[in-house]
Structure 1
């Protein structure tokens, strides 16, 4: 190492009048000569960078790459990069970016700086300079180049397993955030989890399901869509595992105990709960957060849209048909651009009692409608809540509302009893998470069915917002709603969020899908007075548009929509607008060998243990591309992106997607694309697939996979041979997408007997929220079949609880990249 001479030399009797530490001309010349021989700073500087997880798709454990200054290295979008510089004899060091897409350097004034590789569409070089100064302030620098390529899956697939924990890839951490019974309102006691707990209107409900993260400003008082450290988790509590809620399970008897019934009722619905990330990176929820609240089956609601005030929704609670109480069996969801949450009522019909002989007191139309939706004559109703006699007469309506039997002593218009109460369910409900006093609105223009979710698209100025919706039952349909009102971007920031919902959700056209054998499809409008949707229809005489919407299934029947294998979650690719839809499964009793169609093409046997299991027990994922890439279009192209199957099943006719042990799965349910606010949702966005399985659970617990799908039409036409009982066969033509290969991997396996459902992330993509529903659902209080989430940390056993988990990448990068 050569020394750098300081100023202050005197020569030939001349005085040095400049006493600063700035270098002299001779120093500069000498330093330059030194730099020609040694790449240096004081007098040596080396710029190095390490690229975390920079291996190929097949080598995700590649060692940290270290490249000398002037060299080159590579990574992919969404991954963390570490820049390391060394300097000798320096007084200060700093990293700066020279060229390429701008990134945020953390630790830029230290020898080690980090940044997240930005989203790019093609290989893009980023150049960084490491500069060091000596005590005299003379700088020396060296460059390092990082070439960033588009995002790629960056984890090793998790193996199938039947463990009682949530398993995630190496390099990731999972923690439990929000569990059944956790107190969310101030003053509510900690959860004992022994069946003695009460006041679930102030606690986390059961069966965590669809979920969304809404950002909060640092103060916690206002909305901030870009916040990744503080926010609101809004989630559905779909159902209950009743035995674990009570001391000794459900008390037997023809009538239910009021204390048990009210606990079960309050465990349903929706929760809004504040969550925060500590500076150390850990997440927690905030008990008593200012915006925390529960929306339950007893919460007041208002009706909006074409059905508001219709005779078919009038009850003793709302004689004018404009209000109701409660939402139930909330499954999937949707998020609006103006900051509201859509929760969707799925299997609501089974909760209602309807006495034997009730048909005789109803019109023929009412009987047809009730039968089509499964509000069955003679049914006691799930959980038998209608049997409760409340100790306080003022509370009786909490239980009487579940009995829709006609009381012949009351007014014939239904305003004296709850005969029409079932018609108040099956809707999309809009909730404003930022206003705890805002009454939720049921958006009737989106139709009444077994709503799985409502997934929006087309928030483009001057174009009409669109919402895609599945009706989750075997043989039901896929829908979309097109608003009448073109989008105004200013509405995204309006302060009255539900008023914006009035503008876009209360008027529009509801369509149902017909998937044709040609690989094309048509959206059929459900508009009263057009085609067969009139009073002259022989199946059901539609009276008006409200009648069409209340009886959406009947309208779709007569239009000739395509029956699907349980149409559940949908997701819209944020990069190209293509729409994906999970078709969870079907069975031979509902769809026999001769009942396949091009969009639901398989019929086969996948035994569970020794029991035959004919039909489509493993499900599939269909996708469509709207004509002209315009969500308002009335025609589309479709193919099947992915077929669920075990890796060992027939590759020609069952395992058509060529799955192997790293990505085989069954019964796709939850579906979500990563947010376009981070690299996971840009260029080739991540698609997350969650399972709710019964066909493959003899091999593995339910799971979640990550994928980078191609596009509609990237495969080819295919004819498969189906098999039925007794060896019968039949062929079915369909359209199959390109095999996913390593672009699909298993990311997570859940605990025993659970369903994986509900997912969102922070805007930066570095934190993933996932719901684990009903672990140990087949057990009892004395013999639980799972001890999760206690088992996650290896602590003492306890009754299993549905819960939300947080998943982060240990190096701080975007999850899954």
Structure 2
């Protein structure tokens, strides 16, 4: 692979080309004094088709200012309990926790007494996608005024065991948990589909829409791909290993080229419990190694105590101790956790189609799943991250080659079977010289077949235990890989690395890792008087595939942006030269606009929240290799120096990175979707007021947040996760 140069690339950036095109469109949209100029304005509004070299024989007499990417004024950092957007923009609450999804479901009272949660919006709105609907209610790719929001409901706001905002007095904080509380919390996790429309210029959701849907912990979901039917997923509920109930802790999303919804199951392991003697019950077999690697040690308590809700099977499934006498696990739930941790595919348009977990894409703490640019006749590539400290970045390459006709296939889930159930899973290894390689995770790989740490039985075992397979081949341990997205111009893949408190110059134990090229920073960040170690602010790494594209096994990389406070040391921490209008910490959500090419970056931060609430930034990136090489030096205890070579992209400027939004107190900013014309942007505000103690529920003045009630939305004052819609007051595209 070619090594990135220290020189700035002479290639014209995609952003330059895009801005030139946008400026031309804006010129054509200018005032029309003649019929000819009016016609030219209409051409400019079309937004697609035609040549950029069309002759302009009758320019308008007057024009509006050219449309410029990041043409808004940067939003300042804020600690206000409000959503703050730039001047000239409006943010409106659209869809919040508890909102009814059927005509017969009562309005949400927001006092903890509400019921029928299976027919309401779930909690902790996270990743989402917008699926356009035509005027006749059919699937579309271009409708801008009507569509479906498919959304993840990751978790609930907790204190100890209870999801306290949804129970009258904060819920039961000890075991056993009452069945009614457990049922309510299980229903709040999962997915929702809700119809939204623009009516008289204002966006609204339709509670009576036939498209509205909830997926929760009692919903049947199929296991699809190589793991389907394998002994590792046999349970009392599915004795043939073909299905599981529900999808859990859903975080990032994705959208397939055939117009279906992908959801990533993230931190699912802590919902399960293992008994204090479970290792012995299992005969200390290799399942113990697997469970430990995925965070379920013997005797570990569960997050909510759902297993104590009663004797019914829906509660028993959360106890994954070996209790039965069977050899295969068909009489208990010892294998239940092996059915969680996948990318889930759902057809948002069609309730009759099965929801499927695509096991060929591996099992880990999934965030989003993003496709590389589809090329007819070539396999599809799907990129993913494992969101835990010191975990890996993955790529799946389909066995089937892409056919453009499948973009409009009538049976979208069957199309998913074609592309997502068979292929190769790879893990990334980053080298210090700016190159990298994709290593196939296959049972035929000798490093995996002979791995001393775990005896893999077959390819299904490799996929179920993708982390262990990554260990076996020596993949690069990353600083919590979260969302990823593909640059619409260059095709390069961007990954957010949120932070890593376990990065150390001299690691102590297997839970810590030394800095390396792709994760080069180790420093102390002060939050008040508290010292935060490792890489508290995170960064964004980007990858450029080799000449073979989706099937390439080599790549080049650099760091697009390093999160940092503006005043941090520019030689060790603020390596991207961030100013007060750009500084951020802990990048998480990430998506490129297909309309403007803007890169939206969202934060889930605890390191900088003494100065500002979490935020969303807009970026116009260049490309891999447009910056420089850097070397960071770290003193060791023995007096020697650890030198770490890395590569950083071109420094941020006011024209390439700006803060666009700051959220309410205690919230994470997450989830990004837009209408095809780019004139409405949907964003999720997750867990505002999360530090409110349950003992303060009787007094709203003690809530750390009262959003969105303080923005005029809904009953009660308890804070609620919610979706907002952002529009530009002049009707233009968001971010220009």
User: Do residues 256 (structure 1) and 177 (structure 2) align?
Assistant: yes
Q: Which position in structure 2 is the counterpart of 1:599?
A: 518
Counterpart-to-counterpart distance in 1, 2:231 and 2:27: 59
1:268 and 1:296 in contact (8 A); partners too: yes
Structure 2: distance between partners of 1:97 and 1:145: 12
Deviations along 1:118-175, one digit per CA (max 9) or x if unpaired, are: 799989885557xxxxxxxxxxxxx537699785221000000100010000000110
1:102 is matched with: 43
Shift of 1:721: 3.3
Q: Deviations over 1:198-226 (max 9, x none)?
A: 11110000000000000111122x10111
C-alpha deviation, 1:611, in angstroms: 0.8
Q: Is the 8 A contact 2:544 2:557 kept in 1?
A: yes
In structure 1, distance between residues paired with 2:714 and 2:327: 59
Residue 207 in structure 1 maps to residue 154 in structure 2: no
Matched-pair contact (CA < 8 Å) for 1:519–1:735: yes
Deviation readout 1:556-612 (Å, 9 max, x if unpaired) = 101010000000000001111100000000114777567100000000111111011
Q: Secondary structure of 1:264's partner?
A: helix
Q: CA, structure 1 residues 549+590, in 2 after alignment: closer, same or farther (shift >3 Å)?
A: farther
2:582 to 642, 656, 663: 663
Aligned to 1:295: 215
Indicate the residue corresponding to 1:310 in structure 2.
Answer: 230
Larger-gyration structure (1/2) = 1
Alpha carbons of 1:283 and 1:590: their partners in 2 closer, same or farther (altered >3 Å)? Answer: farther
Aligned to 1:113: none
Equivalent residue for 2:12? none
Give the unaligned 5+ runs of structure 1: 1-56, 58-72, 87-92, 105-115, 130-142, 391-395
* CA apart distance, 1:76: 2.4
Tell me what 2:630 maps to: 718
1:364 matched residue in structure 2:
285
Residue-by-residue CA offset, 1:521-557 (whole Å, 9 max, x unaligned): 00000011222221x3211111110010011000010
Kindly state the Cα deviation for residue 798 of structure 1 after the two structures are TM-superposed: 0.3
**Quick check: 1:699 aligned with 2:614?**
no
TM-score, normalised relative to structure 1: 0.82
When residues 723 and 453 of structure 1 are mapped into structure 2, their CA distance, relative to the original with a 3 A threshold, is farther
Please tell me whether residue 152 in structure 1 is matched to residue 64 in structure 2. no
* CA deviation after TM superposition for structure 1 residue 380, in Å: 2.4
1:564 aligns with 2:478: yes
Q: Deviations over 1:74-132 (max 9, x none)?
A: 9826759765467xxxxxx856456699234xxxxxxxxxxx88799989885557xxx
Which secondary structure state, in structure 1, belongs to the residue aligned with residue 164 of structure 2? helix
The answer for the alignment partner of 2:711 in structure 1 is 792
Does the CA-based 8 Å contact 2:26-2:65 persist in structure 1? no
- Highest RCO, 1 vs 2 (Cα 8 Å, sep ≥ 6): 2
Runs of 4+ in 1 over 6 A off after TM superposition: 116-125, 147-150, 723-729, 794-797
2:624 is paired with a residue whose SS is coil
The 5 A counterparts of 1:114-133 are 126=56, 128=58
1:537-548 map, 5 Å: 537-548=451-462
Query: Match of 2:203?
Result: 283
1:193 lines up with 2:110 in the alignment: yes
User: Residues 268 and 75 (structure 1 numbering): CA distance in 2 closer, same or farther, change over 3 Å?
Assistant: closer
Specify whether residues 725 and 757 from structure 1 end up closer, same or farther in structure 2 by C-alpha distance, changes over 3 A only: farther
Residues 605 and 723 in structure 1, CA contact (< 8 A), matched pair in contact too: no
C-alpha contact 2:152 2:251 (8 A) present in aligned 1: yes
Does the 8 Å contact 2:598/2:620 carry over to 1?
A: yes
Equivalent residues of 1:276, 1:284 under 8 A apart: yes
Cα distance in 1 for residues equivalent to 2:140 and 2:722: 25
Aligned-partner Cα distance in 2 for 1:796–1:591: 51
Aligned to 1:49: none
SS class of match (1:306) = coil
Q: What is the alpha-carbon distance in structure 2 between the residues aligned to residue 85 and residue 526 of structure 1?
A: 60
Alignment of 1:314-463 (within 5 A): 314-362=234-282, 363-389=284-310, 396-408=312-324, 410-463=325-378
Matched with 1:466 is 381
Matched, 1:504 2:419: yes
| Most deviating of 778-787 and 298-307 | 778-787
Equivalent residue, structure 2, for 1:748: 661
Aligned-partner Cα distance in 2 for 1:602–1:321: 44
Q: Does 1:583 align with 2:524?
A: no
Q: Is contact 1:77–1:148 with CA below 8 Å preserved after alignment? A: no
Q: Secondary structure at the match of 1:768?
A: strand
Query: Which residue pairs with 2:4 in the alignment?
Result: none
Contact 1:673–1:686 (CA under 8 A) maintained in structure 2: yes
Does 1:709 pair with 2:629?
no
Pairing 1:32-181 to 2, within 5 Å after superposition: 76=23, 83-84=30-31, 94=35, 96-97=37-38, 102-104=43-45, 126=56, 128=58, 143-144=60-61, 151-181=68-98
C-alpha RMSD of matched pairs (Å): 2.6
Q: Which residue of 2 aligns with 1:732?
A: 644
Distance in structure 2 (CA, Å) of the matches to 1:149 and 1:791? 37
Q: 1:74 to 1:275 in 2, by over 3 A?
A: closer
In the TM superposition, 1:754-773 aligns within 5 A as: 754-773=667-686
Alpha-carbon distance, 1:281 to partner: 1.4
Match of 1:674 in 2: 593
Paired with 1:795 and 1:324, the residues of 2 have a C-alpha distance of 35
Question: How far apart are the structure 1 equivalents of 2:319 and 2:506?
Answer: 35
Q: 1:549 to 1:634 in 2, by over 3 A?
A: same
2:444 pairs with one of 507, 529, 540 = 529
**Deviations, residues 428-479 of structure 1 (Å, cap 9, x unaligned):** 1110111112221111100000111211123221111110000000000000
Measure, in 1, the Cα distance between the counterparts of 2:486 and 2:555: 14
Tell whether the 8 Å contact from 2:93 to 2:713 is kept in structure 1 after alignment. no
1:298–1:729: structure 2 CA closer, same or farther, 3 Å change rule?
farther
Compute the displacement of 1:297 (Å). 1.8
Whole-angstrom CA distance in 2 between matches of 1:128 and 1:804: 44
Equivalent residue, structure 2, for 1:18? none
Describe the superposition over 1:737-787 as per-residue Cα deviations: whole angstroms up to 9, x where unpaired.
110211000000000010000001000000000000000000032332100
Q: C-alpha displacement at 1:631, in angstroms?
A: 2.3
- Structure 2 contact 433–645 (Cα < 8 Å) conserved: no
Instruction: Note the C-alpha offset of 1:235.
Output: 0.4
Alpha-carbon distance in structure 1 between the residues aligned to 2:219 and 2:505: 38
Confirm or deny that 1:482 pairs with 2:397. Answer: yes
Structure 1 residues 629, 691: closer, same or farther in 2, change over 3 A? farther
Aligned mates of 1:449, 1:442 — CA distance in 2: 13
Give the deviation of 1:794 after TM superposition.
Answer: 9.1
